[in-house]
């Protein structure tokens, strides 16, 4: 049987899978980015055991990615940073996704008992 800590980390991984794969490809520009950030946060927070989600579409990367001919780009992992906190059976898993060496790396930051 997995430990409560392992389940909490697994749950966080599920949330990142949803965040990354559900929203990748969404058309985004500077005006729509804040609304898309909120929509992603709310969608992830609706999932079981998630107590907090924070998504930032990085304006500096977004500006570089926007195709001037059409005025927008498709959301991709390297354009966003995210933090997700999951609580399961008194265990808190704090996780993060951020660009590392050109790749959006998802990792567990801390696991602690409340």
Question: pTM for the whole thing?
Answer: 0.93
Confidence (pLDDT) at 27: 97
The C-alpha atoms of residue 71 and residue 48 are separated, in whole angstroms, by: 36
SS3 89: coil
Q: Where are the domains of the chain?
A: 4-113
The C-alpha atoms of residue 53 and residue 80 are separated, in whole angstroms, by: 13
Which ranges of the chain have pLDDT less than 70? none
Confidence (pLDDT) at 18: 93
pLDDT tens for 32-44 read 999 999 999 999 9
Confidence (pLDDT) at 67: 96
Q: Specify the CATH class of 4-113 in words.
A: alpha beta
Confidence (pLDDT) at 85: 98
The C-alpha atoms of residue 41 and residue 84 are separated, in whole angstroms, by: 9
Confidence (pLDDT) at 28: 98
Confidence (pLDDT) at 114: 81
CB-count burial class (<10 Å; 0-12, 13-18, 19+) for 57: buried
């Amino acid at each position: 049987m997995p430990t409560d800590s392992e389940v909490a980390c697994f749950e966080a991984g599920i949330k990142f899978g949803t965040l990354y794969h559900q929203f990748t490809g969404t058309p985004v520009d500077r005006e729509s980015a804040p609304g898309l950030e909120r929509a992603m946060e709310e969608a992830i927070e609706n999932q079981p055991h998630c107590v907090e989600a924070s998504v930032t579409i990085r304006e500096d990367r977004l500006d570089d990615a926007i195709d001037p001919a059409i005025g927008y780009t498709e959301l991709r992992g390297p354009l966003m940073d995210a933090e997700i906190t999951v609580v399961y059976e008194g265990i808190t898993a704090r996780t993060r996704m951020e660009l590392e060496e050109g790749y959006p790396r998802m990792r567990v930051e801390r696991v602690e008992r409340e």
